[in-house]
């Protein structure tokens, strides 16, 4: 994963979790929703990273076979 994309996922996850922490004192339901969105954002980052690594591994394998 590129450094820019990694930075984006790290920053957006931190911001979502910070807002979730603030929302705990205001609304439990909204805090729960934001927590689910935060976990989904972190998971999506892992999915993107795995896809890019798989794509690069396939490219390396095809180049070596040629």
Tokens of 40: 């989904």
CB atoms closer than 10 angstroms to residue 65: 6
| Contact by Cβ (8 Å): 59, 23 | no
Tokens of 8: 């984006």
pLDDT, tens digit, 9 for 90 and up, residues 11-56: 999 999 999 999 999 999 999 999 999 999 999 999 999 999 999 8
User: In this predicted structure, what is the pLDDT of residue 64?
Assistant: 76
Q: Give the N- to C-terminal CA distance of the chain in Å, as an integer.
A: 25
| DSSP summary character for residue 1 | -
User: In this predicted structure, what is the pLDDT of residue 24?
Assistant: 95
**Region 2-6: what's the mean pLDDT?**
90
User: In this predicted structure, what is the pLDDT of residue 60?
Assistant: 84
């Amino acid at each position: 994963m590129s450094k820019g994309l990694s930075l984006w996922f790290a920053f957006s996850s931190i911001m979502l979790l910070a807002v979730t922490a603030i929302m705990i004192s205001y609304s439990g339901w909204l805090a729960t929703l934001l927590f689910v969105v935060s976990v989904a954002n972190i998971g999506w980052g892992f999915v993107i990273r795995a896809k890019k690594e798989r794509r690069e591994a396939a490219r390396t394998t095809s180049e070596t076979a040629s």
